[in-house]
Amino acid sequence: MRRTHIMLHHSLTADGPTVSWGAIEAFHTSWRKVEADGMRTSVTEDEAMKLKAAGAKVEAPWSDIGYHAGVELVGDRYYAMLGRSIHRQAAACPESGMNVLALHVCCVGNYDVVKPSAAMLFVLKMRVLLPWMNQFGIAADKIVCHRDFNPSKSCPGTLFDPEDVRRLVQ
């Protein structure tokens, strides 16, 4: 699978001192009720079947977390977390074939509310972006945002400037 891009995402949840990567994985691998406003809520399989029978929109679980990697604050340090294998397509942005073309990284936090910290960006750069760029020959200008391909999303957040990231890796 030829990777040509790296796509940035955020969890749209506040980051905190405990690990939430497992919660993100659990959400992706559970049944989800889709609300009218597009928000999703985890439900049990029994609940999902009842909702489906009643005509509600539900999504089936994915086989794995949707992203290839994540960066998260745990205690007082940021860590890079492994997601689904880089040899499998993502489940994060189907528009323009980006699940196949891009490697996807989720920065845990709500970057519509706060700017990403320098410490988070440093771990993103050193543990995720530079290794992927070297392994797959991806140039800095091919680091893109989810919102670039799905304008209904703010992802990776309105306060997350991809130009800052591109400058960091050059």
Percent of the chain with pLDDT over 90: 85
Nearest-angstrom CA–CA distance, 110 and 90: 21
pLDDT grade for 18, boundaries at 50, 70 and 90: low
Task: Extract the tokens encoding 59.
Answer: 């999504």
Task: Extract the tokens encoding 143.
Answer: 């680091």
Which pLDDT does position 101 carry in this prediction?
98
Q: pLDDT tens digits, residue range 98-130?
A: 999 999 999 999 999 999 999 999 999 999 999
Residue 20 pLDDT exceeds 90:
no
The phi, psi pair for 155, rounded to 5°, reads: -50, 130
pTM of the prediction?
Answer: 0.91
Residue 14 pLDDT exceeds 80:
no
Residue with tokens 């969890």: 11
Residue 4 pLDDT exceeds 70:
yes
Q: State the CB neighbour count (10 A cutoff) for residue 24.
A: 21
CA angle (121, 125, 129) in 5-degree steps = 130
**Average pLDDT, stretch 68-73?**
96
Q: pLDDT tens digits, residue range 42-63?
A: 999 999 999 999 999 999 999 9
What residues does CATH 3.40.80.10 cover in the chain?
A: 5-20+65-169
Which pLDDT does position 17 carry in this prediction?
67
Using DSSP bridges, classify how beta strands 5-10 and 102-107 pair: parallel, antiparallel or unpaired.
parallel
Superfamily of domain 5-20+65-169, CATH level 4: Peptidoglycan recognition protein-like (3.40.80.10)
Is residue 36 within 8 Å of residue 71, measured between CB atoms?
Answer: no
